[in-house]
Amino acid sequence: MATTVDDRTLQTNTQFMDAVEFWLTKAENNRFLWNQTLHLNHRYFDSLQQHAVPHEKPQFVSWAAVKGQFGPEFGRMDCF
């Protein structure tokens, strides 16, 4: 990814995490659940904090918009 800053262009490695480890845990009802923790890359996390959307102005994002951005290969909304 590249961005323009003043009169120069900066190309950035846009990996948002350094590593990810997946494992399953077993719930009381014998269903397997994915761990719900993700460790973000420090540079990405710092960027999120610097450019966060202010809390005073909440923004509604529809599920359809999220699917359009991150899951267009899913045909049906209930499969996303």
Q: What is the pLDDT of residues 34-80, one digit of tens each?
A: 666 677 888 888 888 888 877 777 778 898 888 888 888 888 888 77
Distance of CA 70 to the CA centre of its chain: 9
Query: From CA 61, how far away is CA 50, in angstroms rounded?
Result: 21
Query: What is the SS3 assignment for 41?
Result: coil
Query: From CA 63, how far away is CA 7, in angstroms rounded?
Result: 37
Global pTM exceeds 0.75: no
Contact 3, 13 (CB under 8 A): no
Give the amino acid at 46.
Answer: D
